Amino acid sequence: MNNLPAVEEYQDMLKAAALVFLERHQCEHLGDDQQLLKRAVQHLVADFEVLTPTAERMVHLAYSNLSAANDRQRLDVLTSTPTHTVITDTATGEVWAVPVSLIYERILNAPDNGRFRVTTS
């Protein structure tokens, strides 16, 4: 008897549970993905009684899916201009032309900006 479909179904269920956990708790760990992953592994081990290596594998697979979904926006260098940055969402096809001055004002020059630093090339 082949249990492969049952094993795959169980792994898919674990990965889905890990993905839900990651989505629900990612805002609590904005600068610390490792802590988020550790908590997700602990969640699977505690709630689903799986071994740590299995939980780690499922969490990493779920995290890959989450990252791919979050990183679907792309800078369109060909249609951007010196004053407007064009951003495209590859999943929906939506396109935004964002003024560079707005990016500077709202992100780079914001009083709480601690993440973006001036670099020299």
Distance between CA 72 and CA 68 in Å, rounded?
6
Beta strand residue intervals within the chain, DSSP E: 73-75, 84-89, 95-99
Residue 72 phi, psi dihedral angles, 5° rounding: -90, -10
DSSP string, 6-24: HHHHHHHHHHHHHHHHHHH
Instruction: Write the pLDDT tens digit of every residue in 48-100.
Output: 999 999 999 999 999 998 887 777 888 999 999 999 999 998 878 899 999 99
Please check whether residues 11 and 65 belong to one and the same domain.
Answer: yes
Distance between CA 66 and CA 78 in Å, rounded?
28
Instruction: Write the pLDDT tens digit of every residue in 27-49.
Output: 887 778 899 999 999 999 999 99
> The tokens of 103 are what?
């990016």
Give the chain's domain count. Answer: 2
Model pTM above 0.75: no
Please check whether residues 79 and 62 belong to one and the same domain.
Answer: no
Please check whether residues 78 and 47 belong to one and the same domain.
Answer: no
